[in-house]
Amino acid sequence: MKRVAGLACLALVVLAVVGGLEAAPRRLAAQPGTAAAQPTLVAEDIKFVPATLTVRPGTTITFVNQGALPHNFSLDALHLSVDVQPGAQTQFTIPATAKPGTYSFYCDVPGHREAGMTGTLVVAAAAATGPSVRPQAATAAATGGAVTALQTQVAALETRVAAIERRLGLATPGAGAASGAAATGTAAGHGVVFTVHGTGQQVSNKFTVPASGTYKLTFVAGGDLTFGDATLENNAGQDVYPFDVSVSKAGATATAAGSLNAGQYYVSVTADGSWTITLTTF
């Protein structure tokens, strides 16, 4: 009988230990450093358990009063003040707009804060969910688009600067050599001094006008061109009047005729497509 009583006592001890172990995980769920999905904050006489709670913005916290006194959770920075009566529980939610950081909270029942009923709430960064990832991808795409647009603008500016430099005689004639070469021969009854094919902004190779006389410059736009302008420049890179022709649509032809002295010349082109330029005797 004494032995049975001893076993019964042992069984009670075992049950108590097991019961304590089972209770432990419920407390662990709200230990400091964790960001439990459904954290619980317990008010006791006279402290908070746990004293430090880590949550994400928008988290709802279950607030339980296991003491004999009324208690309260106050966090001024987040405009929270929640009362809980002895043996009762309630819930409150950390604002979704709460900035990540460390906040102090306290019980506002007179004397409790002074008695040490305070705690620390750590607001972690918001979880990276789908909706917060997609805007990042969109931002990257928008950035890429902006870069492409800037590159296009830079290329257009470089083209304009190159054209201006040629007009001002700053560019080295022949530096952006066009395809084709000076040619001689006869076309439609006129002697061909020079024929050049090219695309976009170019300065032709140097060619020679063998004798002073009247000449005609002909600009023929390719099928991919919407604007083109060509000028004849002398050896010093200066425009030679009136050899300045422009076209503004695909396949168009423009001509200019006038007097040229014998000497060396270049053709300077500003265009957004392909073209053919010919200088003939007139």
Instruction: Kindly write out the interface string for residues 109-128 of this chain, putting x where it contacts Cu ion by CB under 5 A and - elsewhere.
Output: x--x----x-----------
Positions 236 through 255 that interact with Cu ion (CB under 5 A): none
CB crowding 162-188: b at 16 or more within 10 Å, else e: bbebbbeeebebeebbbebebeeeeee
Report d(CA 244, CA 217) in Å as an integer. 8
Nearest approach in angstroms of CB 82 to Cu ion is: 11
| 49 is an interface residue for Cu ion by CB under 5 A | no
Closest CA to 276 of 168, 212, 215, 202: 202
Q: Which residue is nearest to Cu ion (CB)?
A: 107
Query: Who contacts 7 (Cβ-Cβ below 8 Å, separation ≥6)?
Result: none
Q: Which residue stretch of 67-75, 169-177, 213-221, 229-237 sits at the interface with Cu ion (rule: CB under 5 A)?
A: 67-75
Single out the residue of 30, 42, 53, 71 in contact with Cu ion (rule: CB under 5 A): 71
Report d(CA 277, CA 253) in Å as an integer. 10
DSSP-derived 3-state class of residue 148? helix
Nearest CB to Cu ion, comparing residues 62 and 199? 62
Report d(CA 219, CA 209) in Å as an integer. 18
Nearest CB to Cu ion, comparing residues 107 and 269? 107
| 107 is an interface residue for Cu ion by CB under 5 A | yes
Nearest CB to Cu ion, comparing residues 70 and 191? 70
Q: Which residue stretch of 32-40, 104-112, 158-166, 256-264 sits at the interface with Cu ion (rule: CB under 5 A)?
A: 104-112
Nearest CB to Cu ion, comparing residues 109 and 183? 109
DSSP state of 179: B
Q: Which amino acid is present at 54? A: T
Nearest CB to Cu ion, comparing residues 105 and 266? 105
| 166 is an interface residue for Cu ion by CB under 5 A | no
Nearest CB to Cu ion, comparing residues 71 and 166? 71
Q: Which residue stretch of 34-42, 63-71, 74-82, 215-223 sits at the interface with Cu ion (rule: CB under 5 A)?
A: 63-71
Report d(CA 27, CA 31) in Å as an integer. 7
Report d(CA 60, CA 91) in Å as an integer. 7
Total residues at interface with Cu ion (CB under 5 A): 5
Interface with Cu ion (CB under 5 A): 71, 107, 109, 112, 117
